[in-house]
């Protein structure tokens, strides 16, 4: 049908002329753009994860840190020791549990036949909160995927959470640490057995509780023997 005749038919039906329009460009969806985005933590290997942590700016702690504190130890360790966050000395050295608290932790590990180099030591947060304040919920939410990826790469046989904040954060509870002790908890999709104990810094202030911490370590060793 020629153009003029088509116009006549359309006018007779009180319709406007029409033309075939080009299809609008499809807006890219998240799924379509996923391949160009940075990989998720769950896809990272050790070097990639370390680099991701070192350059992290997900929360305001990136503006106040000296450096990130990734973790240290054997990447194939059976034991994963988890604290809450770096302190001032850890922030300066870039390694978790250094100074007097770190020396006590080393002694605690040696008491159950482990060298520091045989375990992996990390924190829930990779950056120091100013003034060593408690981690904020948003900071934990942004940082926890890094620890979860470390756990997936290490595949530890047992986790030892040291201190109230680390224990409550990992277990998503507000139950006091004293009531969490001497129980086997399980963390994450891998259901890693988790035992809690006191933080070495707390034990330095309250040496009377070192006996309780020793009981916790023996309990964790017994749990590992049953895995």
E strand or H helix at 161, and its extent? strand 158-162
Look at residue 3 in the predicted model and tell me its pLDDT. Answer: 54
Look at residue 158 in the predicted model and tell me its pLDDT. Answer: 98
What integer is the mean pLDDT of 18-26?
43
Look at residue 59 in the predicted model and tell me its pLDDT. Answer: 97
Count CB atoms within 10 A of the CB of residue 168: 18
> Cα separation of 193 and 170, whole Å?
12
Look at residue 7 in the predicted model and tell me its pLDDT. Answer: 54
Look at residue 63 in the predicted model and tell me its pLDDT. Answer: 97
* Whether 157 contacts 194, CB under 8 Å: no
- Please determine, for residue 159, whether its predicted confidence score (pLDDT) is greater than 60: yes
- Please determine, for residue 77, whether its predicted confidence score (pLDDT) is greater than 60: yes
> Tokens representing 23?
């299809």
- pLDDT, tens digit (0-9, with 9 covering 90-100), for 160-191: 999 999 999 999 999 999 999 999 999 998 99
* Whether 186 contacts 103, CB under 8 Å: no
What integer is the mean pLDDT of 192-214?
97
Look at residue 4 in the predicted model and tell me its pLDDT. Answer: 54
Environment class of 74 (CB within 10 Å of its CB; exposed 0-12, middle 13-18, buried 19+): middle
Report the chain's C-alpha Rg in angstroms.
Answer: 27
Mean pLDDT, rounded, of the chain: 88
Give the predicted TM-score (pTM) of the model. Answer: 0.82
> Cα separation of 119 and 224, whole Å?
13
Domains in the chain: ranges and CATH: 42-226 (3.40.470.10)
Torsion of CA 15, 17, 19, 25, to 10 degrees: -60
């Amino acid at each position: 049908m020629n153009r003029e005749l088509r116009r006549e038919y359309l006018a007779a039906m009180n319709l406007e002329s029409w033309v075939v329009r080009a299809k609008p460009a499809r807006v890219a969806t998240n799924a379509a753009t996923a391949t160009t985005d940075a990989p998720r933590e769950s896809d990272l290997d050790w070097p990639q994860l370390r680099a991701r942590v070192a350059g992290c700016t997900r929360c305001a702690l990136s503006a106040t840190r000296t450096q990130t504190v990734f973790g240290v130890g054997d990447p194939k360790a059976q034991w994963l020791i988890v604290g809450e966050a770096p302190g001032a000395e850890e922030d300066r050295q870039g390694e978790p549990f250094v100074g007097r608290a770190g020396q006590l932790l080393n002694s605690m590990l040696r008491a159950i036949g482990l060298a520091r180099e045989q375990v992996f030591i990390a924190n829930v947060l990779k950056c120091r909160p100013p003034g060593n304040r408690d981690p904020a919920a948003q900071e934990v939410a942004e940082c926890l995927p890094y620890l979860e990826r470390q756990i997936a790469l290490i595949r530890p046989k047992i986790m030892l959470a040291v201190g109230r904040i680390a224990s409550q954060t990992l277990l998503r509870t507000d139950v006091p640490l004293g009531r969490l002790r001497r129980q086997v908890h399980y963390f994450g999709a891998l259901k890693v057995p988790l035992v809690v104990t006191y933080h070495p810094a707390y034990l330095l202030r309250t040496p009377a509780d070192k006996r309780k911490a020793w009981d916790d370590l023996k309990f964790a060793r017994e749990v590992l023997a049953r895995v």
